[in-house]
Structure 1
């Protein structure tokens, strides 16, 4: 009985290894066997044609999201202005407040937008960060994201439901000083770490 059990375990292990090897031979994008293999620096491999097509939109590994180059988004032309207030934010009473003003004039959608040639309206947004060491680090990362056109995009507004509007693009900001997370404000002890993770997922870190 023991020999039979051991044999079954060995067979199960062999099958598992065989499946794992087979999975490694398949492209995670097209799900077929890899053709003209390209291996990224993160050690994941794909068909050259498949990964090249993905990289046209976002230069990140589809498996681990490691970036291979700088990701430039579809944010329209605008400005990011930073000032400071003496008032403190709830939960950060020991420091001043960083105020970020985003302003976008009206314009025409380009080929990278959902409806090229269609107008979008002007808009402005205000966001707040604590002027502590971590808040200053987030500010530097947000500046980098803005310069790479990642902070906003043109699409359907989740707030108004209108199409062809300038909208946030998955990098969350605190647009109120107070009220807590439900009002997009402070206190929110996890916000600074969360937004840094969102930035990392968009390829924005202090190391790049």
Structure 2
């Protein structure tokens, strides 16, 4: 074939194992993993609270602590070079097998900078916000969106994280 070999032929030869080239969705997920998300620098820690969550009466509670200092937006944010205020956020999971699995997934997503981002709020201010992964930020007494009881939360957050390539 010589120097006139087409790039299409070369591309196909790379995938002789019969699986073909990766899908565009797979390439996009792999690209996000390589680049990381737009999450600003921060810290994630967790502690066990000796209390239960509504819907999980037999389990203690995992309290996840997210801390982001004030910072300057980068090229992945709405207004690069502009400041943003820091954030202290708590989230809660039941301290059981499934809760611990979700905790590991959240930790991995945090490490890949996929849990938070900088977004412009309704008042036009750029703030640290969750990046399409729902967190239970109140142990009880809030809305179903951000509080317990919610029997489907662990299943749904695992599904969302898996869609982002986190397992």
Farther off after superposition, 171-180 or 136-145? 171-180
Q: Which secondary structure state, in structure 2, belongs to the residue aligned with residue 111 of structure 1?
A: coil
Where does structure 2 lack aligned partners over 5 or more consecutive residues? 1-6
| Whole-angstrom distance in 1 between the partners of 2:53 and 2:105 | 20
Structure 1 residue 114, shift from structure 2 partner: 1.7
- The structure with higher relative contact order (CA 8 Å, sep 6+) is 2
Aligned mate of 2:105, from 134, 141, 146: 141
TM-score relative to the length of structure 1? 0.66
TM-score relative to the length of structure 2? 0.81
Contact 2:144 2:150 survives alignment (8 Å) = no
| Whole-angstrom distance in 2 between the partners of 1:199 and 1:148 | 12
* Counterpart check, 1:189 vs 2:139: no
Contact 1:176 1:183 survives alignment (8 Å) = no
| Whole-angstrom distance in 2 between the partners of 1:161 and 1:149 | 25
2:85 alignment counterpart = 121
Where does structure 1 lack aligned partners over 5 or more consecutive residues? 1-34, 52-59
Q: Which secondary structure state, in structure 1, belongs to the residue aligned with residue 77 of structure 2?
A: coil
Q: Structure 1 pair 181/134, CA: closer, same or farther in 2 (3 Å)?
A: farther
Moved over 4 A (4+): 35-46
Q: Which secondary structure state, in structure 2, belongs to the residue aligned with residue 61 of structure 1?
A: helix
If you compute each CA radius of gyration, which structure gives the higher value, 1 or 2?
1
Matches within 5 A, 1:52-63: 60-61=25-26
